[in-house]
Chain A
């Protein structure tokens, strides 16, 4: 999936995450992670984000995840929705996450 513009998904509500995806002019993946769970779960969230991006076929993007206590499934869903929008494909390939 090719990221062609900046777009985002999710909210800043407790239990959710706000994910923003933009094209990366330098190529490759740049992942920025912020939020109250990072101290204890940063590594887990990073792994889930990277494996989700791999499953979606996103290889070049700047991704920012601002989590507010989101569980893995929420991170996956917000990331997929944001990538789908930023790639201009509308609905993301949800089956890739199964």
Chain B
């Protein structure tokens, strides 16, 4: 319907109100299909991709991701330079980015994690600017808070409709939650979806909404399903990991956490995952149910939900295909975005409501600082993830680690890199004893009362070194290759270049 009344009669200024825009005809948005572009290049043309822009991606396809490499190749082909890359994380499959750093396409990177050849090359000084390591909550804080302005978010999705409603829960490359991508979608200046399937309108429930999406390109494959997720995260059978998990569950019990309506999060490492199994046994035995579980969701947590042992799962990232399937079918399995999960800059986030979190560690030092980012050779090979976010939020933070990994002690004088400060860690549970943060004497008392092997952290360090000898200190040169950001935006540590890698 169109047609205009006599606009000449409409004043452009109304007394006691101010200036107004007179009506000029019914507003009609473009056809729904106008967002669909035939090719990535056509969409990049329309979206005004330019040199120096900040491009973001999500890592929900994990080691199966095809999007980041594909898009960077397209941007490099267009001759763009000095791009800032702001993916929620990077992994071993992103080795091809090395060439795009060398040729000047990429100038700056911020990410939660980095592994494989790209991590090795950056550790050796590939980039002029140090990269920024952010936690999942810290990244959400930077984006929602306007500090990190994303010019273009390129978000791979398993399925969406032609108006841009997208979900990770359906489709042959289903990855489950799109929790990290949701923050990018609602803040980026331009949002481009790369989707494997275009389904009839309306796709619902949508994780990414049509009102945020500028353009859509259908592509053959967003990811390699074998790298996206395993059928189910396998429970460890390593006796040492099971011993650590059993000790951790016993400590959580002794701390009085396992009561009606408690809440929990467990990391994805072997021992921390196995804790779920021991907690489950205790819950069944005592008739206790948990109110919610958070974070990266695995098949073990899905089982708790389906058995009625936990009221709800809040899923920022589905770690296996069981979790993705459950997100699509279980009403109690809810998707949450990274800000709801862990952003410390808004008015509350879910990690603050956690009673207990169980986290892995590569190294823990005498102050209980935790390193999950650099290996024993000082090279980056890990991810900050939600480590410092959950440690800060949870009432009880339990770090699990074997005393030795091969010949390398996990308990050291000073961690190579601090990701999580020791003041937010309550317990370190190893296969040879449990160290309690000295700020929590009442916790040490409860654990001793339950007959658990409470040890001085210094004693654990000396025990480890009695087997291994004292490690030769790592040497670094002055070149900063990465800054490690704490969740509030402050810099908690610098990663320097290991001396052996200097040229």
Q: Which residues of A does B touch, CB under 8 Å?
A: 14-15, 36-37, 39-44, 67-72
**A62 CA to B404 CA in the complex, in Å?**
30
Taking the complex as formed, is B502 at the interface, i.e. its CB lies under 8 A from any CB of chain A? no
Would you call B149 an interface residue if the criterion is a C-beta within 8 Å of the partner chain's C-beta atoms? no
Number of chain B interface residues as a range:
10 to 19
Residues of chain A contacted by B405 (CB below 8 angstroms): 69
Chain B contacts for A71, CB-based, 8 A = 407, 467-468
| Nearest-Cβ distance from residue B463 to partner chain A, whole angstroms | 13
CB distance from B277 to the nearest CB of A (A): 23
Offer 14 A-B interface pairs, CB within 8 angstroms, sorted by A: A36-B377, A36-B408, A37-B376, A39-B474, A40-B377, A40-B407, A40-B408, A40-B474, A41-B472, A42-B472, A69-B406, A70-B407, A71-B467, A71-B468
Contacts of A43 in B (CB 8 A): 472
Residues of A contacting B376 in the complex (Cβ-Cβ under 8 angstroms): 36-37, 39-40
Could you say which residues of chain A place their CB within 8 Å of the CB of B408?
A: 36-37, 40, 69
- Report A68 CB to chain B, min CB distance, Å: 6
The 5 closest A-B pairs by CB, nearest first: A69-B406, A40-B471, A37-B407, A39-B377, A69-B407
Q: Which of B395-432 contact A (CB under 8 A)?
A: 404-408
Does B32 have its Cβ within 8 Å of any Cβ on chain A? no
Q: How far is the CA of A44 from the CA of B405 in the complex (A)?
A: 17
B467 to A41, Cβ gap below 8 A? no
Q: Shortest CB–CB separation between residue A49 and chain B, in angstroms?
A: 14
Contact of A37 among B406, B467, B500 (CB under 8 A): B406
Question: Which residues, 459 to 493 on B, are CB-close (under 8 Å) to A?
Answer: 467-469, 471-472, 474
- Please, which residues of chain A bring their CB within 8 A of the CB of B377? 36, 39-40
* CB-based contact B474/A41 at 8 Å: no
Pair A68/B472 contact, Cβ less than 8 Å: no
For B407, the chain A residues whose CB sits under 8 A away are 37, 40-41, 67, 69-71
Query: Which of B404, B469, B500 has the most CB atoms of chain A within a 10 A radius of its CB?
Result: B469
Residues of B196-221 whose CB lies within 8 A of A: none
Contacts of B469 in A (CB 8 A): 41, 44, 72
Write out the residue numbers on chain A whose beta carbons fall within 8 Å of the beta carbon of B404. Answer: 69
- Given the known interface contacts A15-B406, A67-B407, the answer about A39 and B467 at a Cβ–Cβ threshold of 8 Å is no
Report yes or no: A14 in contact with B406, Cβ–Cβ below 8 A.
Answer: yes
Q: How many Å from the CB of B198 to the closest CB on chain A? A: 46
Residues in B whose Cβ lies below 8 Å from that of A15: 406
Closest chain A residue to B409 by CB distance?
A40
Interface 1/0 per residue, B369-401 and A, CB below 8 Å? 000000011000000000000000000000000
A70: which B residues are within 8 A, CB to CB? Answer: 406-407
Query: Chain A residue with minimal CB distance to B473?
Result: A40
Contact bitstring B435-474, A, C-beta under 8 A = 1, else 0: 0000000000000000000000000000000011101101
Query: Which of A14, A41, A42, A71 has its CB near the most chain B CB atoms (within 10 A)?
Result: A41
